[in-house]
Structure 1
Amino acid sequence: MYDVLVYIIAFILLIVSFVKDKKKTKQAMMKAKKSILNILPELVGVIIIIGVILSLLNPQTISKLLGEGSGILGVVSAAVVGAITLIPGFIAFPLAAMLLENGANYLPIGAFVSTLMMVGIATLPVEFKYFGKKLAIFRNLLAFGFSFVIAYIINLVVNVL
């Protein structure tokens, strides 16, 4: 129901914009079309990746690896995978949602996503070049440690709600 309401509001605002200034509205619609066409290949890639992961990992496997029973090993494993994987956010978040829907727990998923966004093992050589080895390693270690705090906070918030 919420989705329908958002679409109705967007359509009404589009009509208001068109009535106010047809030229600008048409330009905005053309820009929106170009943006959608530019992101479409990546969006199809996301759908394919999620489909492949769902076909390889059934809900029972996901629950076993990342569910409530996975314990600290599941959280640490998810954090390590997130730290060494180079996945953009627009793929990571739908992947995390899919994992949660299939039995994963918020704690390992929080650790996975936060290390994915904050820790850059794959990008470490670039950080060495611009920040120096000492600062780059310190930043990544700090981010890795802090990702567990973030995961814990996410888990607390979800359990409270």
Structure 2
Amino acid sequence: MKIAISSEGADLKARVGHRFGISPYLIIADLGAGNFEAVESPGSLGQQGTGVQTIVLAISKDVQTVLTGYCSPAARRHLEANGIEIFTGLSGTVGEVLESYKKGEIQKVEVAKIEHEPEKRIGNMGILIDAMRRSCNQFASMLPIFLGVVMLIGLLNTFVSRQFLASLFSGNPVLDTFLGAFFGSILAGNAINSYVIGGELLRYGISLFSVTALIITWVTVGLVQLPAEIAAFGRRFALLRNGICFLLSIPIAIITVVVVNLVIR
């Protein structure tokens, strides 16, 4: 039997993580083999969507039980849907919590009693420090991305001519919007990058229809993240959601640009 414990560190002496999905590590303890594995959690980066990745990680490790301080209702639903039992409201070291679980001393807490638990902990200095640490990690993780975007724009300015970009777009609002939506679907990264890239495309003379569609699909459609989404939510839901978002992005982009033009006038 495997147990996943959200942890602030990579060993049994570390404190149990305050919240599943954003703690730096998952300690995967195999009760049958009597050993454990410390896995760095995607939540340590503090980026959007890392909660889903942590759920996928727990499922991929064949975990049967999760021990943590707090688990959001959404994460709880997906974990329980995959047969994973969740115990929350825990504190202390990972080793202490693990021993308590082995002895049967840990009781499940009703969901209704824990949904507002984070709000009750606002005054906890540990939560504040944890939030500051995640913010710093997020900034540090975003810095290389911004540098990469700047370099990409530099390469774009150097090697890609306006004539080439213009040749990709016909000037037809519907067709250009479709192309923008397509490129936004296959690109990935922080949503802020789409604004920077969109601004550069506008400067190159690409229509606002295309840029708007690119930004919409960038944040709503994710072909790169599709395998993880399928693992977490199921193939039908993931494909249907991405397909609907892609199709809706085109009329939404056109309507948005038309409304903006009317307001400006």
Flag the structure with higher helix content.
1
Alpha-carbon distance change, 64 to 98 in structure 1, aligned in 2, over 3 angstroms? same
Among 161, 176, 189, the residue aligned to 1:74: 176
RMSD between aligned residues: 2.4
Q: Does 1:111 align with 2:209?
A: no
Alpha-carbon distance change, 120 to 41 in structure 1, aligned in 2, over 3 angstroms? closer
Given residue 150 of structure 1, which amino acid in structure 2 is its aligned partner? I
Shift of 1:108: 1.0
Q: Does 1:60 align with 2:163?
A: yes
Report Cα offsets for 1:95-143 as digits up to 9, x if no partner: 1001101101011111111111101111111111111111111111111
Among 45, 49, 70, the residue aligned to 2:152: 49
Counterpart Cα distance in 1 of 2:149 and 2:192: 8
Q: Does 1:155 align with 2:257?
A: yes
Shift of 1:70: 4.3
Contact 1:84 / 1:121 at 8 angstroms: preserved in 2?
yes
Counterpart Cα distance in 2 of 1:42 and 1:71: 31
Given residue 259 of structure 2, which amino acid in structure 1 is its aligned partner? V
Contact 1:96 / 1:113 at 8 angstroms: preserved in 2?
yes
1:120 alignment partner, SS class = coil
How many residues get paired?
128
Contact 1:86 / 1:122 at 8 angstroms: preserved in 2?
yes
Larger Rg belongs to = 2
Counterpart Cα distance in 1 of 2:249 and 2:206: 17
Q: Which residue of 2 aligns with 1:96?
A: 198
Q: Which residue of 2 aligns with 1:5?
A: none
- Give the percent of matched residue pairs that are identical in Structure 1 and Structure 2: 28
Counterpart Cα distance in 1 of 2:243 and 2:145: 30
TM-score if structure 1 supplies the norm length? 0.68
List runs of 5+ in structure 1 lacking aligned partners.
1-30
Counterpart Cα distance in 2 of 1:127 and 1:40: 26
Shift of 1:41: 3.2
Alpha-carbon distance change, 57 to 72 in structure 1, aligned in 2, over 3 angstroms? farther
List runs of 5+ in structure 2 lacking aligned partners.
1-132
Specify which structure has the bigger relative contact order, considering alpha-carbon pairs within 8 angstroms and separated by 6 or more residues: 1
Counterpart Cα distance in 2 of 1:63 and 1:103: 7
Shift of 1:71: 4.3
Counterpart Cα distance in 2 of 1:41 and 1:151: 30
Contact 2:217 / 2:245 at 8 angstroms: preserved in 1?
yes
Flag the structure with higher strand content.
2
Given residue 166 of structure 2, which amino acid in structure 1 is its aligned partner? S
Shift of 1:66: 3.6
Contact 1:66 / 1:75 at 8 angstroms: preserved in 2?
no
